[in-house]
Amino acid sequence: MAERSAQEPNPSAGCRCAVAICLKAWKKSGMRSPWFPAFLIPALFLSAIPASAQSAAGAQQPKPADAVRFDPTLGAAKASPFDSVEWHDVSDWEIEGRAWPEAQRLKHFDRLPAEAEKTVTKAVWNLSRDSAGMMARFKTNASALYVDYKLTKTTLSLPIMPATGASGVDIYARDNAGKWRWVAVSKPSAQEVKAELIGGLDPASREYAAYLPLYNGVEHLRIGVPKGSTFERLAPRQKPVVFYGTSITHGASASRPGMVHTAILGRRLDMPVVNLGFSGNGRMDAAVGEFLAKIDAAAYVIDCLPNMQPAAVTERCAPLVRLLRKARPETPIVLVEDRRFTNDWITPAKARFHTENHAALKAAFDGLVAEGVSQLFYIPGDTLYGTDGEGATDASHASDLGFMRQADAFEPVLRKVLGR
């Protein structure tokens, strides 16, 4: 136990001294009073308490300076860390991945226009409110980047997907060679995010891309730079590659929005993309096909098998391709087999399912080619996640490794299709 400082008062010692003096005086009086002096009782009680306990009790009382620490509102006003930030509202300029830009939307960052609510399934409509695949491009010489945004849902993550991927804003930039490189991602812990993403940036003027959340919607989004920085809004590039698919296309389970294979391919091909992945509901629906046909696409990639049975593939594939071909006679269409579950080597029923699904898609493809449908391409699914079983988080949904491998499988086909 630490020794008491010579200057530090000892309350119990003082009380014991006072009691001794009073008792002496009482005895001198001949103890004539039958009652012990009442005023000595509190002093006797205090004198019995060890000095260490009294000292500890005193230490628990907050010092005047501690009050501000416990309640910052009592302190002097401080400048906001964002007072020197200039904000740019992303809804003020068109962004990539937001198809049908002239169409009315219920919310600015919805993927489908308002009219789709009347024709697509309720599940597809609800999932379309997520901002998956949208990307805002801008140029700045800022030394720091900030974001200020509000999400539409309070659920920030999924059991197999972190908040950075489901609800984060992910930043990339072009290096001096023009290659896209990762910069920073937000780390949402609440529905509203206002934060510096990164500081200490090389203040050279360069192009940036901000990928919006994959499994959440966005009420509003602002990009911030230090006041005095240049800032140029970049218009979306035309003729995107349009992906229609399932939860995997939607982005499960990427660690960041820029790590889904559609985004990886967009950077590698240096092209805009539209992500129309609908978790659990990518089923070659004709109603979705009608909206696909309205996009002036560089290519369509149909990757719906993970949500379909072989009979449904046989029923729906050819009509969807014919619908797109009628509307866009020259636009390439790529059909993709579903990935295999990474543990199907030990689950025979699942292995049979994948084999039968693949066979149904290949038969539909061969029949369409025999009909004379041109510009039709095919990507096999057996090795989309690799062959070592390490490409998924839960056997089904891709990890970042799985998405990189899937991009590797798609890239040569798309380069051939696009003449790149």
pLDDT of 23 reads 52
Span 203-242, pLDDT tens digits: 999 999 999 999 999 999 999 999 999 999 999 999 999 9
Instruction: Record the tokens describing residue 367, joined without a space.
Output: 């029949």
Q: Phi, psi at residue 224, to the nearest 5°?
A: -115, 145
The pLDDT-based confidence of 64 (bands split at 50, 70, 90) is: low
Span 357-414, pLDDT tens digits: 999 999 999 999 999 999 999 999 999 999 999 999 999 999 999 999 999 999 999 9
Is the four-CA dihedral 52, 54, 56, 58 of positive or negative sign?
Answer: negative
- Please determine, for residue 158, whether its predicted confidence score (pLDDT) is greater than 90: yes
Count CB atoms within 10 A of the CB of residue 60. 6
Angle, helices 11-28 vs 40-48, to 10°: value is 140
Report whether 52 contacts 1 (CB < 8 A).
Answer: yes
Domains of the chain (ranges plus CATH)? 81-123+131-235 (2.60.120.260), 237-420 (3.40.50.1110)
pLDDT of 148 reads 98
The pLDDT-based confidence of 20 (bands split at 50, 70, 90) is: low
* Neighbouring residues of 284: CB distance < 8 A, sequence distance ≥ 6: 302, 304, 308, 312, 313, 316, 317, 320
If you average pLDDT over residues 7-33, what whole number do you get? Answer: 50
Mean pLDDT (the chain, rounded): 89
If you average pLDDT over residues 114-134, what whole number do you get? Answer: 98
If you average pLDDT over residues 87-112, what whole number do you get? Answer: 98
Q: How large a percentage of the chain has pLDDT more than 90?
A: 80
CA 264 centroid distance within chain: 16
Distance CA 295, CA 297 (A): 5
The whole-model pTM stands at 0.82
Instruction: Record the tokens describing residue 318, joined without a space.
Output: 């050819």
H or E element that contains 406:
helix 400-418
CA atoms in the 13 A half-sphere facing the CB of 234: 17
Distance CA 138, CA 298 (A): 23
Which amino acid does the sequence have at 283? R
Q: Of the given ranges (23-32, 104-113, 182-191, 303-312), which has the lowest mean pLDDT?
A: 23-32
The torsion of the CA quartet 92, 95, 100, 104, rounded to 10 degrees, works out to -30
Span 263-322, pLDDT tens digits: 999 999 999 999 999 999 999 999 999 999 999 999 999 999 999 999 999 999 999 999
Per DSSP, helices labelled H in 203-339 are 247-250, 261-269, 286-292, 310-327
Count CB atoms within 10 A of the CB of residue 291. 23
pLDDT of 111 reads 98
Burial tier of 411 (Cβ tally within 10 Å: 0-12, 13-18, 19+): middle
Instruction: Record the tokens describing residue 55, joined without a space.
Output: 């000292």
CA neighbor of 391 nearest in space, from 379, 411, 414, 409 = 409
Q: Phi, psi at residue 95, to the nearest 5°?
A: -125, 165
